[in-house]
Amino acid sequence: MCYYFSQTKDAESLQKKFNSKLKQPELFTVSAQYNGFEFPDTPVIINSEPDLIQMAGWGLIPDSSGDKRYRTYTLNAKIETIKEKPAYRNLVRNRCLIICDAFYEWQHRGKEKVKYKIGFDDELFALAGIFNQIDDRIYYSMITTEAQGIMREIHNTKHRMPYALKTDLEFEAWLKNEEVQPRFDFSAEAPDDFQLKLF
């Protein structure tokens, strides 16, 4: 599962890439590594306001009770089961784009774990998500799917990967609740500068 990602680009870069305006510039943040278990606010685009980039809390709260205890269990949502799970089934049409420039995953090598930075050569892209809005606050879950390509080699225990999107057409299709295939043509880099790339 994916619990760490980065977004290090400035607001102007995001607005240009996604052809959207930052709603509250004073709340905008960047991070070389967002940690899901800290429930950070990160930039997203929701399908009810596709022309705006907004800050939203990672970790979905599924109902209006505002019970934040849910969030540890809703950082990720499996695409295969979101229509069945009580936390998600009423929110499956509430789609969002989670803006990032990389995500992190660990490969198991015997007793060791090797951290990989994964993305599209440091370019901005999006991870698919679903969201809920409670009292003007947005909370989201990151969609995951079965690992493909290089991700099967890296995430070699649970074989999962985030549902990555790269092009304007893919962004638009996801926000319009259309079918779109996840990307898996990632570049990946380990700390020792060993490069893996799948074309």
Q: What is the pLDDT of residue 193?
A: 41
In this predicted structure, the answer to whether residue 199 has a pLDDT above a threshold of 70 is no
- pLDDT tens for each residue of 59-111: 999 887 777 888 999 999 999 999 999 999 999 999 999 999 999 999 998 88
Q: What is the pLDDT of residue 104?
A: 96
Encoded tokens for 34 = 């967002």
DSSP code per residue over the chain:
---EEEE---HHHHHHHHT-EES-GGG---EEEEEGGG--EEEEEETTSTTEEEEEEES---STT--GGGGGG-SEEETTTTTTSTTTTTTTT-EEEEEESEEEEEEEETTEEEEEEEESTT--EEEEEEEEEETTEEEEEEEEEE--THHHHHSTTT-EEE-EE-SHHHHHHHHTT---PPB---EEE-TT--EEE--
Q: What is the pLDDT of residue 131?
A: 98
- pLDDT tens for each residue of 100-152: 999 999 999 888 899 999 999 999 999 999 999 998 999 999 999 999 988 99
Q: Which amino acid is at 15?
A: Q
pTM of the model: 0.93
CA atoms of 174 and 90, how far apart (whole Å): 17
126 forms beta bridges with: 99, 165
**CATH number of 4-197: 3.30.70.1060, 3.50.50.60, 3.90.1680.10, 3.40.50.300?**
3.90.1680.10
Nearest Cα to Cα of residue 158 among 168, 144, 172 = 144
Average pLDDT for 167-193: 87
Encoded tokens for 37 = 């278990």
- Residue for token pair 């009770």: 65
Domain range list for the chain: 4-197
